[in-house]
Structure 1
């Protein structure tokens, strides 16, 4: 009995020690995991995060859909445009960061070199052969500039003469509209310093190029790791100059290719887009999964492009002032698009004002699942594992009396092209992330729960056994006393018991 009690007492002590050790492991392991993830996500050569940031292991593509205007003759007379979507025309995209330079102030500088290669296998049609009809964007641009700009005396009549003979609704191949084509108006403007390139295209000179020098926080030797990869400067500037308020001109967040670790569902995600020259907010929507890894989906909310009436903080995006606010869902980017009357929206005018935007054209069917922008983020490391950045390029259409082809058009916003820049982590990239992050976390989680669970089990079993032994001990003592102190009886020959004392007397 004594040996059994001692044995289970020792087991109880061991169980208590293991249970306490397991409980202590929870905050210790959490701290160690946090420290290791921070170290591995810093933008320093040799870390896991640096490799994912420098050249993301993802399948990246750019898809274009064009809007074919089927009734240009009627539009010239003031009728609604009837539009038919064509595409997608898909390009494989490469976007490695180059000229990476660490700075003494805790930032790193780089440019992202983007290149595009046509992927006919994932395209509907051939952009070199397929043609579509739309507005003559250079014509609308210089019709607008003649009205609002003080041009040199010799240049204005030359531009007007060209505008009057230009076809307001020409047809071009998809390739020409995206990557550029010769245009007399643009050539004349370029020669006089009014256009950046001698050709026109919505992505002209964008292949094998970059969108400027970025400076971002590296997280190295910095207490605040929430700013890893957040933009400090773009093209040497810490703020923008396109908008009318200081808040709107702030450069917030990252470039969308990499985020800080340890996401908080309650906090929004900010992404700066050079395409629209501003930062966009994204908010948590739901839990998702990418290649068997849990992720959180962040989406651009309706108020991102809402006008100042619907969402007052957006008043700064009304340019040149609040009197020039566009309807909800549209963003005037003419200031960062060389004065062209370009407005951006989500595809199919998603979240746009129905009466002032969507109902003025025929053929668009906005759908949240197909047309919203989203980021599926691994919350521990902040890695974007599945991304779809979607935008639509539109032109402001309005009549100009001096130009016959457009003197009678109605005022509306004409969709030209919408695009989807998507990135999905590769199998190898997902395996690397699992090996470096998920597997160690899983093993340490199993370890701390195992130690706590095994220790607790030993404590419970030991207490049960020791309690049973304690309850049984008094009963055994009573039996022993009855044997030692009670009468010892023997049987008589006739089977009746008799005491030893009676036998002695006889």
Structure 2
């Protein structure tokens, strides 16, 4: 076998081998290993991290201080000033973990614990702030929706419980409003006050025999939530973390339609690997009683790791037919960017993005002092889709309360119509090198294999082309022996001499076959 043929065969074999390994075998091997690594199977490192996240999440709270409480009481537009952040470490732990092997499922309750933190830029939690009193404003709004006939009774109860307040606002330390609690004195004797307090006692913790205590977030601190049942992803990696049941139900019952009551996605602490841009990041939020989809925005890079940016919003139930079921009634839908949580929490509170980002302009116009900025107020997730790893996340949400005039409650007769922002939270995580190094190593290996594969394939193609050129060049040629130039070549002389002798016999006589021995005849 000629050398060019051998070279061509070797180069072609290398091309096919590396094509197969680099683009078929190696990706399948990576896929298989990722599926094994991410499954919530006992003994897996990912499962241990899922059950107890080994680091805290940054939890920051920004409150809106009311600058003109007396002016609002007389009908002025609310003026607010953002105060914060008040900072906390958020530790997430799943308790009551139970496997259902035959169905490849896992059950647990989520517990969030908040510990005060003093990072650079954080504000002292003893700072005094003024906000609408959540219990006064909340009660008036709730009774107006559910039992408007009881507003006169409530008007008397407010005067009794809060000792004839001059306005509806609360001034207290931020830490008391957020976690430690505000005292509600319920040791009163009048009928209206006792009637309202009896209702509150079923919803608020007791401080002592007579008094109750209320805070915005204290009830969540260290308290196990309702039970989740999710897929472990051992049999089907694409189902990893997908919620099967919440609170022992496959659907919730807060909304009027099946579509809005369906539970989709994960609990937000884990996602399946190999998600596509179109699938997005879908998670169920118990605080909102709904699933939200974070949609793909653009490719990005995080600490040298290829990532994709996703974001989410609360939609527009006033125009989107698929979101109409989140309205309190079909006729009372909130405008773009706000969601009424009354049917979810039993409290008339509205959710939005911070500073009414991406919300209808009327909400922003109803309050002075807000400045929406996408860079610091949007939901932002940098996600690595191969392994399903959130690398960077800033989940942001604002809570607001409606404010309207009400002739049946003395403190509300001259109120302006507005949506008052109370506070917004930011739950954040930014993975450090300890947790990004395995991903960096994975992408480094993938990059080396990719470059090596392409390099060998290019060299193989060049060698095949070179071998073909040499082979076909040789097969189309012939060897030619050059002849020396002379007046009478020796071979011609010898031929003449041979022919001259051909007419004689060995004794020098003429050959009888030759007439007259004349060679010229022939």
Provide TM-score, normalisation by structure 1.
Answer: 0.86
| Conserved? CA contact 1:66–1:87, under 8 Å | yes
Q: Superposed, which structure 2 residues align to 1:17-416 within 5 Å?
A: 17-25=13-21, 26-56=23-53, 60-103=57-100, 104-128=102-126, 130-149=127-146, 158=157, 161-162=160-161, 165-166=164-165, 167-184=167-184, 191-192=198-199, 193-197=201-205, 198-222=212-236, 225-301=237-313, 304-309=314-319, 311-319=320-328, 321-337=329-345, 339-355=346-362, 357-416=363-422
Q: CA deviation at 1:142?
A: 2.0
| Conserved? CA contact 2:152–2:409, under 8 Å | no
| Conserved? CA contact 1:15–1:459, under 8 Å | yes
Q: Residues of 2 paired with 1:16 and 1:243: CA distance?
A: 64
Q: CA deviation at 1:27?
A: 2.4
CA distance change for structure 1 residues 232 and 218 in 2, over 3 Å: closer, same or farther? same
Q: Residues of 2 paired with 1:262 and 1:186: CA distance?
A: 55
Tell whether 2:450 aligns with 1:453.
Answer: no
Paired residue secondary structure (1:96): strand
Q: Residues of 1 paired with 2:436 and 2:415: CA distance?
A: 52
Paired residue secondary structure (2:40): coil
Tell whether 2:6 aligns with 1:10.
Answer: yes
Q: Residues of 2 paired with 1:55 and 1:460: CA distance?
A: 58
| Conserved? CA contact 2:399–2:424, under 8 Å | yes
Paired residue secondary structure (2:27): helix
- Among 438, 447, 456, the alignment partner of 1:442 is 447
Q: Residues of 1 paired with 2:186 and 2:289: CA distance?
A: 23
The Cα offsets for residues 405-451 of structure 1, whole Å up to 9 and x where unpaired, read as 3221012110010111111112100012333x324433443454354
- Structure 1 residues not aligned, in runs of 5+: 491-496
| Conserved? CA contact 2:304–2:440, under 8 Å | no
With a CA cutoff of 8 Å and minimum separation of 6, indicate the structure with the bigger relative contact order: 1
Q: CA deviation at 1:91?
A: 1.3
Deviates more, 1:77-86 or 1:398-407: 398-407
CA distance change for structure 1 residues 98 and 456 in 2, over 3 Å: closer, same or farther? farther
CA distance change for structure 1 residues 145 and 13 in 2, over 3 Å: closer, same or farther? closer
Q: Residues of 2 paired with 1:47 and 1:501: CA distance?
A: 93
| Equivalent residue pairs, number | 477
The Cα offsets for residues 296-323 of structure 1, whole Å up to 9 and x where unpaired, read as 111114xx331232x121101012x212
Higher Rg of the two aligned structures: 2
Q: Residues of 2 paired with 1:391 and 1:219: CA distance?
A: 30
Counterpart position of 2:512: none
| Conserved? CA contact 1:143–1:163, under 8 Å | no
| Conserved? CA contact 1:18–1:454, under 8 Å | no
| Conserved? CA contact 2:144–2:151, under 8 Å | no
- Among 467, 473, 476, the alignment partner of 2:472 is 467
Paired residue secondary structure (1:264): coil
| Conserved? CA contact 2:94–2:110, under 8 Å | yes
| Conserved? CA contact 1:305–1:345, under 8 Å | no
- Structure 2 residues not aligned, in runs of 5+: 188-193, 206-211, 498-522
Q: Residues of 2 paired with 1:448 and 1:99: CA distance?
A: 48
CA distance change for structure 1 residues 50 and 67 in 2, over 3 Å: closer, same or farther? same
Counterpart position of 1:493: none
Q: CA deviation at 1:155?
A: 8.1
- Among 457, 479, 500, the alignment partner of 2:490 is 500
Taking only aligned residues, the RMSD between alpha carbons, in angstroms, comes to: 2.7
CA distance change for structure 1 residues 38 and 501 in 2, over 3 Å: closer, same or farther? closer
Q: Residues of 1 paired with 2:267 and 2:50: CA distance?
A: 11
Q: CA deviation at 1:453?
A: 3.5
Q: Residues of 2 paired with 1:122 and 1:346: CA distance?
A: 24
Q: Residues of 1 paired with 2:309 and 2:112: CA distance?
A: 26
CA distance change for structure 1 residues 55 and 153 in 2, over 3 Å: closer, same or farther? closer
Q: Residues of 1 paired with 2:439 and 2:43: CA distance?
A: 15
